[in-house]
Amino acid sequence: MPGRNSRDVLAGMPCWIELITTDVDKACEFYAGLFDWSYDSHHDEHAGSYVLAHHDGFPVASIRSASDGRSRWRLFLAAADCSATAARAGRLGAEITVPRSRVPDLGVKLVLRSPADDEFGLLEPDASWQFDVGLPGTLMWAELVTIRAQAADHFYAHLFGYDAEQFGTEHRSGYEVWYLGGESVLARVSMIRDHLAADAHPHWLVYLGVDEEVGTDDTMHRAVALGGKVRVDPYDSGLGRVAVLRDPTGARFAVVDPSEAAGFGVAANDDPYDD
C-alpha cells in the first residue's frame, strides 16, 4: 500500500490510527525507539491536546491521553460525509462514543461503538490530509477480532458495501477478508470461544510494518528492551512474519514483515486473537 491522500481514499478504507494511552510521554518514547517516529504536539479548542507522529516526514498516527485508564489503538475508516455516515451507522445499531470534532489538517472525526461491541472511528479527510501506509513504521493491515462475527459482518457490509471472502472454518479461524473495489482492506476474525479469557472484548488489532533488513524477531527483541511485552511470539502467516506485542502502557498491536509472507500459520505459544 502506498501513502494515501484525500483524492484516492474510498469510504470504508482505513485512513488513520490513533493511540489512546495512559502515558503519552512513555508511549512516544517507546514508538520512537521502535520505529524512529518523530512528533509534533498540538492543542485545539475542540480536538483537545494530541501528538502527531511522523515517519520519514510523513504523518502516520496520532497519540492522545486516555480518559478511562485503558490504553489501546483505535482505527479510523474513511467517510465522504462523517455526519451522514454516523447517522446511517446509528440506524444499523451503532452509537457515538466520542462526538464529532474537527482536527486541523486531518479532518472531521468521531468515534462509534458497533453492534458487535467494537470501537472504531470515522474520518472525513481534509483536502490537506496525508497518511503514510504500507511501509516500515506505518500501518500495514488491521483486523476486527470479535465474538459477534455475524453482527460485525452485517453492520460493516451494510455501512460500507464491503465484499467478503471467508477463509478457514467457522469453528476454528473464522477469518473473513473485506474488499473495496477489488482491494483487500480489512479482515474480521472470530474469537475462539474455548480460548477466551474472562475479560476478553472485541477489538481492532493494527499491524505496523517492520524493515525487512531488521525483521520481526529483532523488532520484537527491541520492543522488549524498550519496555514492551510479547503477547504472541513470532509466527509465519499469509501476511508475513508476525508478532503481537503490548507497549509499556498496555496497548496491544502487531508487527509484521511482509517480505516473509507464507501460508497461513499458527502462533507458536498462544492464540493471537485472544485478548
Is residue 275 scored above 80 in pLDDT? no
Is residue 89 scored above 70 in pLDDT? yes
Work out the pLDDT band at 56, boundaries 50, 70, 90.
very high
pLDDT in tens, 220-263: 999 999 999 999 999 999 999 999 999 999 999 999 999 988 75
pLDDT in tens, 119-154: 999 999 998 898 989 999 999 999 999 999 999 999
Its pTM stands at 0.91
In the prediction, which pLDDT does 9 show?
A: 85
* All structural domains of the chain: 4-129 (3.10.180.10), 139-260 (3.10.180.10)
Is residue 265 scored above 80 in pLDDT? no
% residues pLDDT > 90 (the chain):
77
- Look at 105 and 168; give whichever has higher pLDDT: 105
In the prediction, which pLDDT does 173 show?
A: 56
For range 209-229, the mean pLDDT:
98
In the prediction, which pLDDT does 171 show?
A: 47
Is residue 112 scored above 80 in pLDDT? yes
In the prediction, which pLDDT does 239 show?
A: 94
In the prediction, which pLDDT does 263 show?
A: 57
SS3 assignment for the chain:
CCCEECCCCCCCCEEEEEEEECCHHHHHHHHHHHHCCEEEEEEECCCEEEEEEEECCEEEEEEEECCCCCCEEEEEEECCCHHHHHHHHHHCCCEEEEEEEEECCCEEEEEEECCCCCEEEEEEECCCCEECECCECCEEEEEEEECCHHHHHHHHHHHHCCEEEEECCCCCCCEEEEEECCEEEEEEEECCHHHCCCCCCCEEEEEEECCCCCHHHHHHHHHHHCCCEEEEEEEECCCCEEEEEECCCCCEEEEEEHHHCCCCCCCCCCCCCCC
Is residue 269 scored above 50 in pLDDT? no
